[in-house]
Amino acid sequence: MRIRDQHALTFDDVLLVPRRSPVRSRRDVDTSTDLVRGIRMAIPIISANMDTVTESEMAITMARLGGLGVIHRFMTIERQVAEVLRVKRAENLVVEDPYRIAPTATVAEARRLMDEWGSGGLLVMDAEDNLLGILTTRDILFEDDETRPVAELMTPRERLVTAPPGTSLEEARKILHRAKVEKLPLVDENGRVHGLITAKDIVKRRQYPQATKDEKGRLRVGAAIGVKRGERERAEALIRAGADILVLDIAHGHSDNALDMLKWLRDTYGEDVRIMAGNVATAEGVRDLAEAGADAVKVGVGPGSICITRIVTGFGVPQLSAVIECSEAAREYGVPIVADGGIRTSGDLTKALAAGAQSVMIGSLFAGTRESPGRIVQRQGRRYKVTRGMASLGATMSRQDSAEIDIEQVVPEGVEAMVPYRGSVVDIVRQLVGGLRSGLSYAGAYTIPELQANAEFVPITLAGMQESKPHDVEVL
Please give the average per-residue pLDDT across 75-82, as a whole number.
96
Is 326 known as a binding-site position? no
Which tens digit of pLDDT belongs to each residue from 362-410? Answer: 999 999 999 999 888 888 888 988 877 655 545 555 655 544 555 555 5
Is 305 known as a binding-site position? yes
Which tens digit of pLDDT belongs to each residue from 414-456? Answer: 577 888 999 999 999 999 999 999 999 999 999 999 999 999 9
Residue 463, classed as helix, strand or coil, is: helix
Is 413 known as a binding-site position? yes
pLDDT above 50 for 58: yes
Which tens digit of pLDDT belongs to each residue from 173-211? Answer: 999 989 888 888 998 888 788 888 888 888 888 899 999
Per mean pLDDT, which range of 116-120, 149-153, 391-395 is the poorest? 391-395
pLDDT for res 400: 52
Peptide bond into 257 cis (omega under 30): no
Is 342 known as a binding-site position? yes
pLDDT for res 299: 98
- Running DSSP on this structure, what letter comes out for residue 90? T
CA distances from 389 to 62, 269, 307, 321, 374 (A): 21, 31, 6, 23, 15
CA distances from 421 to 175, 339, 374, 381, 386 (A): 43, 24, 11, 12, 9
* Nearest residue to 338 via CA among 314, 319, 315, 312: 319
Is 32 known as a binding-site position? no
CA dist 289 and 23 (Å) reads 37
DSSP 97-161: S--EE-TT-BHHHHHHHHHHHT-SEEEEE-TT-BEEEEEEHHHHTT---TTSBGGGTSEEGGG--
Q: Taking all residues of the chain, what is their mean pLDDT, rounded to a whole number? A: 90
pLDDT over 70 for what percent of the chain?
94
Please give the average per-residue pLDDT across 299-328, as a whole number.
92
pLDDT for res 437: 98
Q: Indicate which residues carry an active-site annotation.
A: 307, 399
* Nearest residue to 219 via CA among 237, 200, 233, 193: 200
Is 249 known as a binding-site position? yes
CA dist 340 and 359 (Å) reads 9
> Domains along the chain?
11-91+211-466 (3.20.20.70), 100-165+178-193 (3.10.580.10)
CA dist 81 and 71 (Å) reads 9
Is 300 known as a binding-site position? yes
Instruction: Name the residue with higher pLDDT: 428 or 216.
Output: 428
Is 251 known as a binding-site position? yes
CA dist 423 and 113 (Å) reads 29
CA dist 105 and 150 (Å) reads 6
